[in-house]
Amino acid sequence: MNRIAAIDWLRGIVMILMALDHASAFFNQGRVANDSIVTHEVGSGFVVEQFFTRWITHLSAPTFVFLTGTAMALSIMQRREKGMHSKAIDRDLLIRGAFIALLDIVVFSFMSGKLYLQVLYAIGVSLMLMTLLYRLDRRVLLASALILLCGGEAFTVLFWQPHGEVPLWLALTFAPWFSESFTVLYPAIPWLAIMMLGWVFGDWLTTRAKNPWSVMRVLLIGGSLAVVCFLLVRGFNAYGNMLLYREDYSIIQWLHVSKYPPGISYISLELGLMAIMLAALLWLQPKIVIRQYGPILVFGQTALFFYLAHFAVLTMLTLFLERAGLGQAYLAATITLAVLYPICCAYRALKWRYPDSVLRFV
């Protein structure tokens, strides 16, 4: 199966949004990032442009993790078709997962001056666990993922006091932990469940790739149902919001959902929007010429490399740009994308030239 441009486009779009969010963290003095009951002060207001700049980037992490599961399913099918042994496939998954998790545990923690577990930790652990899970029946995986996502809050709040001590096992699996020496932003299990959903979609896609209309129909129905789920959960303003409740009926309060840890309202909204966007991109794909050097496609096909490299570029930009307002963040993001585009083109060419090298893990 050839690469599906729509998936690469969507991944590229969310990488651009992620670059904007991290540029905001580096250069925006007024950045809003209180997407957790732990960090949000009830009753505090929001600067509209700051809130929506942060909010549009919420799409990045769930989409990236979901599409990692999808790409894994498509890749394993291709490798099986080429006669690759299951043990070799599992070994590569374990190595890639361990490598990605160690980037957070070692590299980014060293840069932060403390143990700091972010999205790479969650992705790496999830990849390693998927070596055990992907052999399960597709329906079992789907049901298990939904149980984890829908029941995760009930389990989490049994042990989690948002402003109290968090046991290490809980911080690594379900609940975030913020401290001066140890921070967990992405406990692994909710993100594993999202990756499982991505795997289920990818596995199903291998049987429907020649019928794009059925794929688009499922994405539109599933995405619409997920958005309805968001509206119901946010409307009832009780279970499913990870204790970050709506304080009034303003649009900002409807959209101010918990990412740390991800509540049902957050996951259903972001995955719903993702599914609708993917359906639109699949509809668009046969109607336009796919430009192999289009920036969005290039960024989507080099996503992990892009993730690592954009931090280096943002760090270098601190030598030239100061922290200022929101405009500074957009400027830094634009410069970062311009710098990374030729680098990502060169990296993609190198990786494609040596498909069996260690570059396949990045």
Position 58 scores a pLDDT of 96
pTM above 0.85, yes or no: yes
pLDDT tens, N- to C-terminus, the chain (362 residues): 568 999 999 999 999 999 999 999 999 999 988 999 999 988 888 999 999 999 999 999 999 999 999 999 999 988 888 888 889 899 999 999 999 999 999 998 988 888 899 999 999 999 999 999 999 999 999 999 999 999 999 999 999 988 888 999 999 999 999 888 889 999 999 999 999 999 999 999 988 767 889 999 999 999 999 999 999 999 999 999 999 999 999 999 999 999 999 999 999 999 999 999 999 999 999 999 999 999 999 999 999 999 999 999 999 999 999 999 999 999 999 999 999 999 999 999 999 898 878 887 77
Domain count, the chain: 1
Query: 60 is in which domain, residue-wise?
Result: 32-290
Dist. CA 204–CA 133, nearest whole Å = 16
In a domain, 274, yes or no: yes
Token representation of residue 336: 């970062």
In a domain, 12, yes or no: no
In a domain, 220, yes or no: yes
- Burial class from Cβ neighbours inside 10 Å (0-12, 13-18, 19+) for residue 287 reads exposed
3-state secondary structure of 322: coil
In a domain, 310, yes or no: no
Position 263 scores a pLDDT of 97
In a domain, 319, yes or no: no
Position 165 scores a pLDDT of 87
Position 44 scores a pLDDT of 87
In a domain, 271, yes or no: yes
In a domain, 124, yes or no: yes
State the first-to-last Cα distance of the chain, in angstroms, to the nearest integer.
21
In a domain, 326, yes or no: no
C-alpha angle 13/15/19, rounded to 5°? 120
User: What is the DSSP track for 226-293?
Assistant: HHHHHHHHHHHTSTTSTT----SSSHHHHH---TTTTPHHHHHHHHHHHHHHHHHHHHHGGGS---TT
Q: Before 176, cis peptide (omega within 30)? A: no
- Burial class from Cβ neighbours inside 10 Å (0-12, 13-18, 19+) for residue 303 reads buried
